[in-house]
Structure 1
Amino acid sequence: MYLSFFGLGEKPFALTPNTAFLVRLAPYQACLNLLRVALGEGEGFIKVSGEVGTGKTLLCRALLNALSEDDGCWQVAWLPNPGLSPRDLRQALAHELRIADTEHLDDHSLLAALNQRLIELAAEGKRTVLLIDEAQALPPKTLEALRLLTNLETEHCKLLQVVLFGQPELDAVLEQAEFRQLRQRITFSYRLRPLDLADTRRYVEERLIHAGYRGEALFEAGALRRLVAGSGGIPRLINILAHKALMVAFGAGSRRVRASHVQRAVQDTEGARPFLRQGSASLGWSLAGAAALLTLLGLWPWLQGWLAQGGLLP
């Protein structure tokens, strides 16, 4: 709808986790660097956690691509839907490792086949890593089966490494006493944080450039501040709000996205967190209280100007 109007070749804020649009922000790059170092160590579990929409699946796919392109040193298995029974988990891993005709094997024979395949891969100089997305959905018995799989080893190294990508609920599960053995095997972990204003500015601008935009800054400073406030710095919500704000700006015939356009997008989006959703009454009381205090300090005129500049006051 708005692509040609803004000189874009494709949608810059689509929700599909497209690694071509991965912006190497400090938290993302730090996470990828940690993953590569941790995998290089060759032992145990690695855990990446973060709230819904913080980019875990995108990072999982970026790691998958990086390992797949790394001179054939890695055999990568990927499980995007981990709600599996222990047997289904072993069958899925066997499929990923290209082990044929395992459907009729009993559990002992299936585990033996997995062990043999992992030994073969190690003999070829390949390290095997299992990436599990949405790991908070792993049933307890499957988590224990996963731990037992990592017992497969030679005298020199583990035959299987596991990277868990999950929501904070995964941390709560692993804190349970029954998972203390697995918890002790998590040698590296990383918690993704929401984006701040500087991160959001770079995130928005680089995605626009990748989509073909070549003009001056498309989102005004006030629009970016409102984007952070409305999204809480969650990349998925930033994408939703930025996309809708572009639609609003296009409908208004504006060549730049303003705070008012983002505010319209925020009001139309479930899960967004604008000041307006706290209720105009609560905002009024907050400002009244601030006004009373800051008037005494002689700072109320300064605050009025700051709020107006950020689009928080008319």
Structure 2
Amino acid sequence: MYLNHFGLSQAPFSLTPNTGFFFGLWPHVEALQVLQTALQTGEGFIKVTGEVGTGKTLICRKLINELPPGFNCAYLPNPYLSPTELRWAVANELGLKYSSDIDQQQLTGLIQQQLLALSAHGHSIVLVLDEAQALPDESLEALRLFTNLETENRKLLQVVLFGQPELDERLKLPSFRQLRQRITFSYNLRPLTWDETDAYICYRLAVAGCAGAPLFSPKLTRKIADASRGIPRLINILSHKALMLSFGEGSSHVNAAHVKGAILDTEDACNQTPFRWSTYVAIALMTLTAMFVALAMWGEDLRLLWGNSV
């Protein structure tokens, strides 16, 4: 909607975890360093946790894209699976075909044989699970048993868990003490500081093609950092809405009213100013104006297209 207006080539604050926008902020770089070190040393279980929106999936994709030579990834983005479904999902990632004639004991044996064959050819298999807090208890135990598969020198399967803080709480239970003791490397993603938030916003705009004067002043990025609590997903949402409001007014940059409007329009943002109905009406008018401008531009494009076709 506002790309041409601000001279951007792509959306700078999309919620899709695009590794092309990976900035290399310290918490994300440190998490990747921990993961790569753990994989190189052959550890069985590795865990990364963080609040919703802190960038776990982006780090997960970055890890998969940059695995060291000799490592192969089996990726499960949706781990809400029963033990049987989990085994078959792993088997499928290893290249085994489903058969209803194979029972669970046979399937475990086939997985072990496949892992041994891959290991003999110099392949190290990494099983990566995103949203691991969704794993049922029985499936967590089945996952632990996978790490019993090993040679005299190393594990046949390394497991990387990405999850929300609820995963840490579950692993504190006595019933998961065996699994907890096998997690030799772990990392907890923290929110971004104000300086990191400012650099993050500027970097994403630069990647998206912004080459002129800064669209956000440092004072405004501080407001966004405070309201978002340093959570990258909320930073993206607030920045995107502020740009929409600025575009709706035909402004060349974002001002304090645009950021305030974005904060008030975002449920999970921390609004530290008293709510006034006049502010709400102003936000609504700015949003409607942006919509009408976009519709007018779209209508003009359609008229030109129709005129050219005639």
TM-score by length of 2: 0.87
CA shift at 1:215, angstroms? 1.1
Residue 95 (structure 1) aligns with: 92
TM alignment of 1:1-314, pairs within 5 A: 1-67=1-67, 70-71=68-69, 73-276=70-273
Distance in 1 between residues matched to 2:222 and 2:98, nearest whole Å:
56
What amino acid maps onto 1:86 in structure 2? P
Contact 1:27 1:192 in 2 (8 A): yes
Displacement after TM superposition at 1:254 (Å): 1.9
- TM-superposition CA deviations, 1:123-174 (whole Å, max 9, x none): 1111111000000000000000000011000111100000000000000000
Measured in 2, the distance between the counterparts of 1:149 and 1:96 equals 14
SS at match of 1:122: helix
Quote the Cα distance in structure 1 between the aligned partners of 2:272 and 2:97: 57
**Any conservation in 1 of the 2:198–2:222 contact (CA below 8 Å)?**
no
Please give the alpha-carbon distance, in whole angstroms, between the structure 2 residues aligned to 1:51 and 1:66: 24
- State the SS of the aligned residue for 1:165: strand
Distance 1:147 1:39 in 2: 17
| Counterpart amino acid of residue 48 in structure 1 | V
Of 88-97 and 247-256, deviating more is 247-256
Contact kept, 8 Å, 1:6 with 1:255, in 2: the verdict is yes
3-state DSSP of counterpart to 1:263: helix
Q: Which stretches of structure 1, 4 residues or more, deviate above 3 A after TM superposition?
A: none
Deviation at 1:103, TM superposition (A): 3.9
Cα offsets for 1:63-111 (capped at 9, x unmatched): 11111xx43x112101110010001000000011111244431011000
Per-residue CA shift, 1:229-273, capped at 9, x if unaligned?
A: 111111000000000000111112221212221110010111111
| TM-score between both structures, scaled by the size of structure 1 | 0.86
In structure 1, what residue type is equivalent to 2:57? T
Amino acid at match of 1:132: L
Amino acid across the alignment from 1:59 = I
Q: Distance in 2 between matches of 1:150 and 1:7?
A: 51
Shift of 1:7: 0.4
SS in 2 for 1:189: strand
AA paired with 1:269? T
Which amino acid in 2 is paired with 1:172?
E
Counterpart CA distance in 2 for 1:228 and 1:200 is 6
Answer whether contact 1:91 1:103 (CA < 8 A) is retained: no
Q: How many positions carry a matched residue from both structures?
A: 276
